[in-house]
Amino acid sequence: MTHISSMIETHPNGTTDLDVQKLADCIAACFECAQTCTACADDCLAEDMVADLRNCIRLNLDCADICATTGSILSRRTGQNLATVKAVLESCRTACAACAAECEKHADMHEHCRVCAEACRRCEQACADLLAVIG
């Protein structure tokens, strides 16, 4: 069991109506994607062709911020607002899809973009999986 799962399981509100594994997986994917997108943006800035990567950098930074926020919101369960949770999950999916699509355009030339696209696709799927079980 991960620390994420342990923290969810030990919350005083209980977990009987919650798919703990999907929630934990989504939180982990969000934070991993945030780190990966931040690193990819920095890697893009170090490339000689940085001007050609402006859109990639912007999408990386937007995705990183949205993923970090989503991971934080999902980690809080006291007084949870389900409408907000659903909206942030949808936003995260959208940001991840856009970032992944852009990084995939550069993946043959820049390994960091390939790695980032994979992280974005994993996070996009984790958000979709969690949305499917929270209705």
Return the domain boundaries, the chain.
19-134
Q: What is the mean pLDDT of the chain?
A: 92
Class of domain 19-134: mainly alpha
**CB of 63 within 8 A of CB of 101?**
no
**130 Cβ neighbours under 8 A, 6+ residues apart:** 19, 22, 23, 25, 26, 74, 89
- At residue 6, the pLDDT reads 79
d(CA 74, CA 55): 28
Give residue-wise pLDDT tens across range 12-51: 676 567 788 999 999 999 999 999 999 999 999 999 999 9
- At residue 12, the pLDDT reads 66
Please list the ranges in the chain whose pLDDT falls under 50: none
Residue 131: how many other CB atoms lie within 10 Å:
17
Residue 103: how many other CB atoms lie within 10 Å:
29
- At residue 8, the pLDDT reads 74
List the Cα angle 127/36/46 in 5-degree steps. 145
